[in-house]
Amino acid sequence: MTRGEIKMSTGDETGAITDLQRALTLDPKNAETYNSLGDAQIDKKDYNGAVATYSRALAVDTKNPDIYYSRAWARKEKGDFDGAIADFSQVIALDPPNTSRGYMGRGGAEFAKHDFDGAIADLTKVIELDPKSAAGAYGLRGNAKQSKGDLNGAKADWAASTRDNVH
């Protein structure tokens, strides 16, 4: 763990950003340091800075699903739903064993964009891939169904989100 990461873990995002930026001047090809810097920027709600930092990390390592995942969340937070959807799609393509996280994120971005059909499809995939951890997917899919006027489907999903076997 670097000094910047230690500062981040103690809540000193400003100190972490300073240290991580300094580390990158010494090793500008370190994708993990860029990723940590982006995480610190997200903690400070600097979503534009985080997106730029994650993009620099991806210029170094184009195959890292964790960086795409982080950039997707930063993009979603700043309201760039199309960019978030594209990045979550990369997570799905690059990270087959853990694709439920990509589908969950993409479903959330689609919901925020009011693409309820896309959200329902992706959230259904989460439920299929990981039924025991799907409470959030059921809840958000219920919200998407409600937005489409399917109140019975929404109620069924909301009920499923609270069942013991979902958790």
Q: Where are the alpha helices (DSSP H) in the chain?
A: 3-9, 13-26, 31-43, 47-60, 65-77, 81-94, 99-112, 116-129, 135-147, 151-160
| pLDDT value at residue 167 | 45
Average pLDDT over residues 53-77: 97
The answer, yes or no, to whether residue 1 has pLDDT greater than 60, is: yes
CA gap 51, 166 in Å, rounded: 33
CA gap 133, 96 in Å, rounded: 17
| pLDDT value at residue 164 | 58
pLDDT tens across 39-52, in order?
Answer: 999 999 999 999 99
Q: Which fold has domain 1-62?
A: 1.25.40
| pTM of the entire predicted model | 0.91
| pLDDT value at residue 97 | 78
**Domain locations in the chain?**
1-62, 80-167
| pLDDT value at residue 8 | 86
Average pLDDT over residues 30-43: 95
80-167 and 1-62 share a CATH fold:
yes
- Listed in sequence order, the residues at least 6 apart from 49 whose beta carbon sits closer than 8 Å to its beta carbon are 38, 41
Q: Which fold has domain 80-167?
A: 1.25.40
pLDDT tens across 66-83, in order?
Answer: 999 999 999 999 999 999
Burial class (CB in 10 A: 0-12, 13-18, 19+), 85: buried
Average pLDDT over residues 90-117: 94
- Listed in sequence order, the residues at least 6 apart from 135 whose beta carbon sits closer than 8 Å to its beta carbon are 161, 162, 166, 167
| pLDDT value at residue 166 | 52
Percent of the chain with pLDDT over 90: 84
Residue with tokens 């013991």: 164
